[in-house]
Structure 1
Amino acid sequence: MISKINNANILSLNQFIFIIHGAQVGTGILFLPRTLAEKTGTDGWLVLPFCFVFSTIASIAWVQVAKRYQIHFTKGSNNKMIEYTKKVLIIVYICYFSFYAWVILLNGMLYIKGNLLPKTPDYLLILLFLIPTYLVVAENVYVLGRYCEIVFYLTIWIVLLFLIPLKEGNLLNMLPVFKNGISGFLNAFPQAIFPFTGFEMVACMYPYLKRKQAAIKGVIIANSITLIFYTFMTISCYIFFSPDEITSYNQPVLSILKIIEVSFLERFDLLIITLYLFVVFTAWTPYIYASLLCISNLTKQEKKNIHIYIFFMCIILSVFLIHPSWSQVQSWKSLISHVGLGTAYIFPIFMLLVIKLRR
């Protein structure tokens, strides 16, 4: 999972933070307010801080594991059992990162197809997505970090637009608090924990971080930014829509945008949807990059264009053959969310416990 370090590929702390945050924030926020409301009503936002705590604990565990096993993953070993275990782990994470990137790509494709280009073939949209993706993943990790950082600064203002419709909302929609008790929290937790995944990028990005002693600080900041973003968007939807109304909207975040009108543009929401695609781009690109790093580790070769070409051809071919629907993508998303609980949350904590016991 951890690639060899090239002195030319160095990440600043900001770039490290925004790669993790970018991997966390994608199309999931479009559905999050509705899915939480279905499970626990307008109390759904209260579960997000608990998800933040669990994500931060797992993130810190990833930092400690990456710090401890960096040498073991970049150098060979005479112990065949260690080498075999390492290869199995790398293959598992190649599959995980690849499938996760594929699901995000499909979400983005259906999101654009449904709102902007309904008659465009699926595989053609995926091809258009992969062209700029190639320009990033074919370069070093510094380019990925710069892109994620720039996109964050250029799109952060979109969040402020959600303050405009709130004047028509009602704060009473948020009351009463804790109306569903602990059972409501437990029902909503699996739905809320999945959008925080993305911090497992630490395993691949830690070796490139210039100030490795600041890695824990970086993951805490990244998770905090994600928490603030999710909480703000979820509360905005709960204030604007009534408790019964919000569950009738598939993507309540987009429904709020349709309320915003400007005199010089008829469909202002379409402009925001187009701009938000840059944010979604920062979600699938780190996963593709991480998958390619794992492949280079497995083959003991530097990341090559042939790896990228084969990877992209598999994506395009799969979309061409399957023609995925919203229901299929949601089922795959549910599958990868359950897998992510093991690969992103449980595995690093388990490894950290192993490290502590061996001391």
Structure 2
Amino acid sequence: MQINKRHQVSPYLVFFIIYNSQVGVGILGFQRTIAAKAGYDAWIGVIIAGSFVQVFIWMMYKLLAKADGDIVDVHSKMLGNLLGSVPSFVIMIYYWLASVSVILSFIEIIQVWMFPTLPSWILCSLILGLVYYCVSGGFRVVVGVSFLSFIIPQLLFIVLYLYPLKSAHFSNLLPILNHSYKELFDAVKSSMYTIAGTETLLMFYPFIREVKSSKKFAHLGVLFTTILYTISAIISFTFYSESQLKETIWPELSLTKVIRLSY
């Protein structure tokens, strides 16, 4: 697939695309899910899952480089235009279902935490309107929004993680590795769902300028998100007891309740 250079983005911007593909509404509540699988050893599962994603990134670059296009081109070259359209259609359905899942999660959080009486269709319309506004501007606009979506949350994360540390009990993490390999594997599976999103590379690959130079930024993006998720899990594990975490649906959001500012 040949893309006009005006529509392509610089290699270093892949870092921000990968970050925003992985970090989303899932970071607000994944701690409870993985802790249910492997207790407070689950943070190890996050690191293992991040390592697997690094391998997937390497495989995707190898695959897409041979096809010199996106995943649709890969299917066409392997199976032909007719048969290749079947797996391509399945992937489009997957992207659609993933988008619906994210929108529903955002609507649920907004209704629970902010506007409980606001109808879902109004929130959905507002979100989709913003999405259409960004997408209609082209891929470069989407990447620009991704860049801003990286800078602003990092400032919030620093504040959010500093306050709970005052009441953190790192002894909660001990003893380390006191769960079975099966339980750790279950935690890895749960973490994989949370940090999924790198598969978007299969579609935006042709929009990258100097693809070979972008590989390191893609791997750095996955490394950064893996560290972020690991820190998030550890902060939650040291702040909440296991019984508290079982009852807390969105541990990341609940951490905001401990922030106190004097006036």
Displacement of 1:13: 2.3
Q: Which residue of 2 aligns with 1:24?
A: 22
SS in 2 for 1:244: helix
Q: Higher mean Cα deviation, 106-115 or 154-163?
A: 154-163
Q: Which residue of 2 aligns with 1:194?
A: 193
CA-to-partner distance for each residue in 1:174-205, whole Å, 9 max, x for gaps?
A: 11101113122022121111122111111112
* Alignment CA distance shift 1:251-1:93 (3 Å): same
In the alignment, structure 2 segments of 5+ residues that lack a partner are none
CA contact (8 A) 1:4 1:74 kept: no
Mapping of residues 151-300 of structure 1, within 5 Å: 151-161=149-159, 162-264=161-263
Q: Distance in 2 between matches of 1:95 and 1:74?
A: 17
Aligned AA (2:209) = K
* Alignment CA distance shift 1:133-1:181 (3 Å): same
CA contact (8 A) 1:43 1:174 kept: yes
Q: Distance in 1 between matches of 2:31 and 2:244?
A: 12
1:100 to 98, 101, 107: 98
* Alignment CA distance shift 1:189-1:81 (3 Å): closer
* Alignment CA distance shift 1:248-1:11 (3 Å): same
CA contact (8 A) 1:164 1:260 kept: yes
CA contact (8 A) 2:163 2:258 kept: no
In the alignment, structure 1 segments of 5+ residues that lack a partner are 265-359
Q: CA RMSD in A?
A: 2.1
Aligned AA (2:219) = I
CA-to-partner distance for each residue in 1:77-125, whole Å, 9 max, x for gaps?
A: 7x99511122112211110111110110110111111111111110100
Mapping of residues 71-86 of structure 1, within 5 Å: 73=72, 82-86=80-84
Higher relative contact order (CA 8 A, sep 6+): 2
CA contact (8 A) 2:46 2:187 kept: no
Aligned AA (2:120) = D
Q: Which residue of 1 aligns with 2:44?
A: 46
TM-score, normalised on structure 1? Answer: 0.69
* Alignment CA distance shift 1:262-1:218 (3 Å): same
Displacement of 1:65: 1.2
Q: Distance in 2 between matches of 1:94 and 1:6?
A: 23
Q: How many residues align?
A: 261
Q: Distance in 1 between matches of 2:54 and 2:12?
A: 17
Q: Distance in 1 between matches of 2:117 and 2:194?
A: 30
1:63 to 46, 51, 61: 61
CA contact (8 A) 1:24 1:226 kept: yes
Q: Which residue of 1 aligns with 2:108?
A: 110
Q: Which residue of 1 aligns with 2:142?
A: 144
Mapping of residues 286-325 of structure 1, within 5 Å: none
Q: Which residue of 2 aligns with 1:12?
A: 10
Q: How much identity, in percent, do the aligned residues show?
A: 23
Displacement of 1:7: 2.1
Displacement of 1:60: 1.1
